[in-house]
Amino acid sequence: MTKPAHVNTVIIDTDPGIDDAIAILYALGHAGMNVVAITTVAGNIGLSVTTRNAGRICALAGVDTPVHAGAAAPLGREARPETGIHGNDGLGGVEFPEPAQAPRSHDAVAAMQAILEAHPPHSIDLHCLGPLTNLALLLQHAPAAAARIRRVIAMGGAVDEPGNVGAKAEFNLAHDPQAAALVLAAGLDLTLIPLDATRQLRADATYIAALHATGHTPAIAVAELIEAYFAANSAESRPLHDPCVPLFAQNPQLFRVEERGLAVDVDTGALIPGPLRIKVAMGLDAPALRAALLHGLSS
Ligand code: RIB
Ligand code: CA
């Protein structure tokens, strides 16, 4: 693989989760991303499972990326897992090794703060693949450290699209609406990748076969994860929500980004018209991104 022009230093904040696992495997294998930590949050499944899964994903990828466990519940409310899609183990029952090492810590926010303070200002990207609880807590407890973040790319929300939690809300923002409201209002360099874009990046049986045909372990694991995704829903294809985050980081030219005036409904987590000017990805080049994902998982 040719050496990338620029290597992004990245913290991945995540609730793995089938589609999280696909995103993480792509990021860990991409020469253009240096993942310095994975921080976990309760969301798709409880915190102990998302944290164990982060370790399992790293073990399959053959990396010793530090995993730090974060928030076990949203701000001010109970956690509500989504085992219907991700299964009781959070990875659809797909065979993954056990973690090769214990979590580095059980304080993701302190770890984020330490990493941000140890690196030059505006040199770290944050990829958010789950509820925004950890980032909200960082903003509350270490605002100076949060101000050192270069940019945040977060999968979340539904702008013009219907939601997947009720009519208008999307799971990540609906799981912790208070955190979402805090993050969107914080003035960070934030790009949201909502369902409007992620539902356009779909995987079908042909794509699964192409992943298997590469013979590469990460690509085969992703094929099995997508097959598990199908088990939860018999549609022709399944949307690849979270992989859009690292794919955007490495291929921004393949996305159409608009700026919208938004706010967060703090009861439901739905995005509503409001005063916050937020960059939102509203379209993408799905064939080119599928090819980039397959290439990244098999090179
Ligand atoms: O709405 C999709 C999002 O919710 C994805 O991040 C998926 O992993 C779930 O967390
Ligand atoms: Ca997720």
Please, how many CA atoms are within 13 Å of residue 91, restricted to the half-sphere of its CB?
Answer: 26
Please return the burial class of 99, using the count of CB atoms within 10 Å of its CB with bins 0-12, 13-18 and 19+.
middle
pLDDT over 90 percentage in the chain: 90
Our CA dihedral for 236, 239, 240, 245, rounded to 10 degrees, sits at 160
How many angstroms separate the alpha carbon of residue 121 from the centre of ligand 1? 29
CA distances from 118 to 24, 39, 113, 139, 222 (A): 23, 17, 9, 17, 33
Q: Identify the pLDDT of residue 2.
A: 59
How many angstroms separate the alpha carbon of residue 23 from the centre of ligand 2? 9
pTM of the model: 0.97
User: What digits encode the pLDDT tens for the residues 123-134?
Assistant: 999 999 999 999
**DSSP E strand boundaries for the chain:** 8-14, 33-40, 67-69, 124-128, 149-155, 190-193, 202-203, 238-239, 255-264, 271-273, 276-284
Q: What confidence category does residue 234 fall into, taking pLDDT thresholds of 50, 70 and 90?
A: low
Q: Token pair of 72, please?
A: 């076990």
Q: Is the pLDDT of residue 4 over 80?
A: no
Q: Which atom of ligand 1 is nearest to the CA of 155?
A: 6
How many angstroms separate the alpha carbon of residue 2 from the centre of ligand 2? 30
Ligand found nearest the CA of 157: 1
Q: Is the pLDDT of residue 108 over 80?
A: yes
Q: Is the pLDDT of residue 65 over 60?
A: yes
Which residues belong to the active site?
A: 241
- Residue for token digits 């994902």? 293
Our CA dihedral for 66, 10, 281, 210, rounded to 10 degrees, sits at -70
Q: Which protein residue has the closest C-alpha to ligand 1 atom 10? A: 130
Q: Which of 75-84, 234-243, 264-273 shows the lowest per-residue confidence on average (mean pLDDT)?
A: 75-84
**Which of 47, 86, 129, 193 has most ligand 1 atoms within 8 Å of its beta carbon, as the pocket-test mutant?**
129
Domains and CATH numbers, the chain: 8-298 (3.90.245.10)
Ligand found nearest the CA of 173: 1
- Assess contact for 271 and 181: CB atoms under 8 A: no
